[in-house]
Amino acid sequence: MSIKKNNNRMSTEKELAKLMGEIKKQGLETTDEINDFLKNIQGQSLHDLPERTDKKGRSQDLVYEAYEQSISKGKKLVKQALELDPNNSDAYNYLASIETSIDKAIMQYEKAIKAGEKTLGKKFFKEEKGYFWGMLETRPYMRAKAGLADCLYAKKEVDKAIEIYEEMLKLNPNDNQGIRYLLSTLLLSKDDLTKFELFIKNGEDEDCAVWNYNNALYSFKKLGRTVKTGKILMDAYKSNEFVIDYMLGMKKMPDEQPQYIGRGDENEAVSYVNGSWTIWDKTEGAFDWLYEFKLNRLKMN
């Protein structure tokens, strides 16, 4: 993930971390105590809360700050962060994010994962499995896992990437990171679609470009051009009509991935095509099927 895309998320997380740190610092434990504290600071900016002073907290704040600076400045801040906390996963995540070499990025993400495992501890993984990401201290580790899987997929090591994504969904079934969408596409890329079939059944309530167009491609792979697959493609088209234009090159893909995605908008289409074009391309007859569908739509308008 690029530094630019991380900025806003990290800034929000930094403020939340400061809030949680202040609650811990004041020894607030009961719901009433915490609610009273929140009422007292109502109307104030979280940015105005005191900076964290413990080594781990300060180390993490330096990494948050690094994402807001130039790369040269960011490197210096991350170096300081690692001096304070050698097991700061996000420090290694940052270093991975600025790498131009996938192999070197993988090395940094692997360091981040090991650091996270050491910081959290085996007992934590056992007791808190299923609740990751909801706790701020788990997020650097989960970011590292996602980063590593992305790199492995880029190197065409699909099985390894799938394994990591599956592990992440076990740790965080609520899937705040949207891993299920990435996993859906990877499973669809396999020759054996058994795991994809089982996986997509668990997402019957999903309604987005990834789910709908992946389902259309799956149906085409299984059945070819039929009335049924045509209806499934039509449903996908209705959910986002821009996907086919970008998939067929009728619209030019932007140079950068969109930072924000809305259901049915062009950003969603760009994000989907960027992640799945190769799979459509490798499916014999899929682009012809899309082209014929688009041609029929144009004739009707």
pLDDT of residue 8: 64
**List of E strands, the chain:** none
CA dist., res. 149 & res. 154, Å (int): 9
CATH 3.40.309.10 at 3-186, yes or no: no
Averaged pLDDT for residues 95-121: 97
Give yes or no for a contact between 133 and 142, defined as CB atoms under 8 angstroms apart.
Answer: yes
- Beta-bridge mates of residue 135: 132
| Digit-coded pLDDT (tens) for 224-247 | 999 999 999 999 999 999 999 999
Locate 258 and state its tokens. 């969109």
The token pair at 233 is: 């493609």
Confidence of residue 94 (pLDDT cuts 50, 70, 90): very high
Distances (CA, A) of 27 to 34, 146, 251: 10, 34, 56
Q: Over the Cα atoms of the chain, what is R_g?
A: 22
Greater confidence (193 vs 38) lies with 193
**pTM (predicted TM-score):** 0.87
Give the residue, 211 or 1, on which the prediction is more confident: 211
Mean model confidence pLDDT for the chain: 91
- In the chain, which residues fall in CATH 1.25.40.10? 3-186
Q: Are 142 and 118 in contact (CB under 8 A)?
A: no
pLDDT in tens, 130-179: 999 999 999 999 999 999 999 999 999 999 999 999 999 999 999 999 99
Mean pLDDT across the stretch 115-124? 97
Longest pairwise C-alpha distance within the chain: 68
DSSP H helical segments within the chain, as ranges? 3-25, 31-40, 55-66, 71-84, 89-97, 102-120, 122-128, 139-154, 158-171, 179-188, 194-201, 209-223, 227-239, 242-247, 266-282, 286-300
For residue 94 the two structure tokens come to 């940052």
What pLDDT, on the 0 to 100 scale, is given for residue 15? 74
Write down the pLDDT at residue 73.
97
Please report, rounded to a whole number, the percentage of residues in the chain having pLDDT higher than 70.
95
pLDDT in tens, 24-76: 777 877 887 777 777 777 766 666 677 788 899 999 999 999 999 999 999 99
Question: Which is more confident, 299 or 50?
Answer: 299
